[in-house]
Each structure stands twice: as structure tokens, then as C-alpha cells.
């Protein structure tokens, strides 16, 4: 019985509640989500695990109840965007998407973002600017669970936006899209258990594990590097794209350090939006106490 209840709750959390945003004005959806965040049994699994990770890494900067609610609202907005990118246009982006880019977007660059905030509208924004994007990600199970269905819906939404998805182990496919002058979008904050060659970058919040392969690829092929944060204001519901284009010709490790510092600043301020708290010290080792 408990297994049936958990499965049903998954469909409600991952599909039904996010889909409500399509029917309501966005400001009303955000208010609704903020009220739902007070319901103890909704979105509790991920948020409680993230809370545990935040406490282990000394990233809890408010009381636990407030932190948990913000974490839940962040999840709901991220999930809702999977539906909204299919039904909302440029007017919605103009109202609820704040873009802060330090330089002109190129036809091709590698954009590095952490597992932070909500990212679906970045693909719509880039498509509107004529930038062809390929997302480098991990494959997911094809099943009828709520998680499997929302993952397939995300993939469908990306395809509708003109975004190609390539899995991390398909290096031949990645080289192909680079020859076609496409932009790569990469999430390099990965667990140490993946066994990938990585840089351990010291930041103000600890040592962050950053996968090296795509920074090295950008250096080797002389591709411009952009680092970005896909933030959420959990009060207003605004998405914030804060990006920096870095000087070309730098070493891969220097790019990785700049990415880690930018990510750490965002995580320190709003740790409840960082999904990798689920694996905590697999990615971020806390600073040793003096």
C-alpha cells in the first residue's frame, strides 16, 4: 500500500502540480506553489535529502522550515517550466526571464552551468536568438514511472525547441555537432564516484569536483567558453540567466576554476536550488575547520 501511495504521489508532484501552471497566470501559479510548500508530505523526499546535504556542508543560512519551503518551490518551478516552454512565448520570457550576459552570444560556444535553478527557458531564449544548442547529459530509464514520464517530456520539449540531446558517453556524436558549429551546454559539477578525470577547485564553500573533459575540449578546439547560472527567484517566480563569456585562449583548468567560483557564489546564497546537495560531499567537500 505504501508503494502505491508513493507512486501516486510521484505522479501528483512531477506531473499534475507542475502542469497547473499552464492553466493559471504565472503570478497565481507561484502563489499556489508557495502555499503547497507548507504541505508536509509533498516534495519532501528530495527537499529533506537536500536539507541534510546543506547541513553537512554548512550551507544552511536560514531556519530549516523556511529553507525546506524554498527548496520545494524551486522544484515546482523547475518542473513547471517543462510544460511552460511548450505553451508560453516571447511575452512570457520578457515578463519572467531576466537575462544578464556580459557579451554578445556567438553562433558556437560551450556553456557551462551547474545543476542549479531552472534551465528549460534557456533553450527557448537561445533558439529565439538563432543559436543551435546541443545538451550533453546522462541517459535516463525508459519506464512509466512519474520520473520516467517527466524525463521523456523534458526530452520532447527540448526537441520541440530545436535542441539536440547527446549522452556523455557518445564522444563521436559530440565531435559531429562541434563540426556543425553548434553550441554545447554542459553540467560539469559531477560526483566523484563517476570516476571521470576532474579538477578539484577550492572555493569559498569548499572543494568542488568539476569534470575536466569538456573544458579540455573547449581549450583544444579553441571554442569560446561561457559560464552561467540559471537562477530562480522563489518569491516572484522570475528565472535569471546570469552569464559570463571568458577570454579565449585560457587553459582548461582556468576555465574550470572560473566556473566553480561563479557556481559557489550562487550556491552559497541559495543552496536550496542546488540539486547536487543530494550527493553532498561527492561533489563538494566542506572547508576544514580552523
Average pLDDT over residues 266-273: 95
Confidence class for position 159, pLDDT limits 50, 70, 90? very high
Q: Indicate whether 80 belongs to any domain.
A: yes
- Burial code (b: 16+ CB inside 10 Å, e: under 16) for 127-158 equals beeebbbbbbbeeeeeeeebeeebbebbbebb
- Per-residue pLDDT at 288: 59
Q: Indicate whether 218 belongs to any domain.
A: yes
Specify burial of residue 268 (Cβ count, 10 A radius: 0-12, 13-18, 19+). middle
- Per-residue pLDDT at 67: 97
**pLDDT score of 290 more than 70:** no
Residue 25 and residue 246: Cα distance in Å, rounded?
A: 38
Q: Which residues, at least 6 apart from 120, have a Cβ–Cβ distance to it below 8 Å?
A: 78, 81, 82, 84, 85, 154, 157
Q: Which residues, at least 6 apart from 51, have a Cβ–Cβ distance to it below 8 Å?
A: 60, 64, 67, 68, 71, 277
Residue 194 and residue 188: Cα distance in Å, rounded?
A: 12
Q: 132 is in which domain, residue-wise?
A: 2-285
Cell representation of residue 24: 493559471
Specify burial of residue 254 (Cβ count, 10 A radius: 0-12, 13-18, 19+). middle
Average pLDDT over residues 174-190: 88
Residue 234 and residue 33: Cα distance in Å, rounded?
A: 9
Average pLDDT over residues 182-202: 91
- Over residues 8-51, the pLDDT tens digits come to 888 999 999 999 999 999 999 999 999 999 999 999 999 999 99
- Per-residue pLDDT at 103: 72
Contact 201, 262 (CB under 8 A): no
- Over residues 204-259, the pLDDT tens digits come to 999 999 999 999 999 999 999 999 999 999 999 999 999 999 988 899 999 999 99
Residue 267 and residue 270: Cα distance in Å, rounded?
A: 5
Of 107, 105, 110, 115, residue with least CA distance to 184: 110
Q: Indicate whether 290 belongs to any domain.
A: no
Measured from the Cβ of residue 193, the count of other Cβ atoms closer than 10 Å reads 10
Of 197, 272, 214, residue with least CA distance to 43: 272
Handedness of CA 274, 152, 234, 18 (dihedral sign): negative
Q: Indicate whether 167 belongs to any domain.
A: yes
Residue 189 and residue 138: Cα distance in Å, rounded?
A: 13
Specify burial of residue 97 (Cβ count, 10 A radius: 0-12, 13-18, 19+). middle
**pLDDT score of 104 more than 80:** no
**Locate cell 541559495: which residue?**
270
Q: Indicate whether 60 belongs to any domain.
A: yes
**pLDDT score of 289 more than 60:** no
Q: What pairing do the DSSP bridges indicate for beta strands 110-112 and 225-232?
A: parallel
- Per-residue pLDDT at 171: 73
235 sits in which H/E element: none
Residue 241 and residue 239: Cα distance in Å, rounded?
A: 7
Q: Indicate whether 100 belongs to any domain.
A: yes
Tell me, rounded to whole angstroms, the distance of Cα 220 from its chain centroid. Answer: 26
Strand order in the sheet with 198-203: 198-203, 206-211, 284-285
Indicate the number of domains in the chain: 1
Amino acid at each position: 500500500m505504501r508503494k502505491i501511495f508513493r507512486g501516486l504521489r510521484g505522479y501528483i508532484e512531477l506531473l499534475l502540480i507542475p502542469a497547473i501552471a499552464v492553466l493559471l497566470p504565472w503570478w497565481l501559479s507561484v502563489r499556489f506553489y508557495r502555499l503547497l510548500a507548507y504541505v508536509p508530505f509533498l516534495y519532501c523526499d528530495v527537499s529533506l535529502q537536500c536539507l541534510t546535504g546543506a547541513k553537512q556542508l554548512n550551507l544552511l543560512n536560514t531556519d530549516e522550515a523556511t529553507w525546506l519551503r524554498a527548496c520545494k518551490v524551486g522544484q515546482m518551478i523547475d518542473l513547471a517550466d517543462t510544460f511552460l516552454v511548450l505553451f508560453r512565448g516571447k511575452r512570457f520570457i520578457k515578463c519572467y526571464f531576466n537575462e544578464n550576459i556580459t557579451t554578445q552570444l556567438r553562433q558556437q560556444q560551450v556553456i557551462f552551468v551547474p545543476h542549479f535553478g531552472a534551465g528549460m527557458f534557456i533553450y527557448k531564449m537561445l533558439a529565439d536568438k538563432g543559436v543551435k544548442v546541443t545538451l550533453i547529459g546522462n541517459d535516463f530509464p525508459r519506464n512509466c514511472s512519474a520520473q520516467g514520464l517527466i524525463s521523456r517530456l523534458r526530452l520532447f520539449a527540448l526537441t520541440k525547441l530545436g535542441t539536440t540531446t547527446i549522452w556523455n558517453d557518445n564522444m563521436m556524436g559530440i565531435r559531429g555537432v562541434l563540426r556543425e558549429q553548434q553550441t554545447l551546454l554542459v553540467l560539469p559539477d559531477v560526483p566523484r564516484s563517476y570516476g571521470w578525470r576532474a579538477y578539484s577547485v577550492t572555493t569559498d564553500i569548499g572543494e568542488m569536483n568539476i569534470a575536466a573533459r569538456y573544458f579540455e575540449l573547449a581549450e583544444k578546439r579553441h571554442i569560446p567558453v561561457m559560464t552561467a547560472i540559471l537562477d530562480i527567484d522563489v518569491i516572484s517566480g522570475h528565472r535569471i540567466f546570469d552569464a559570463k563569456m571568458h577570454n579565449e585562449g585560457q587553459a582548461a583548468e582556468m576555465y574550470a576554476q572560473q566556473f566553480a567560483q561563479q557556481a559557489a557564489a550562487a550556491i552559497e546564497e541559495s543552496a536550496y536550488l542546488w540539486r547536487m546537495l543530494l550527493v553532498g560531499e561527492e561533489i563538494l567537500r566542506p572547508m576544514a575547520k580552523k
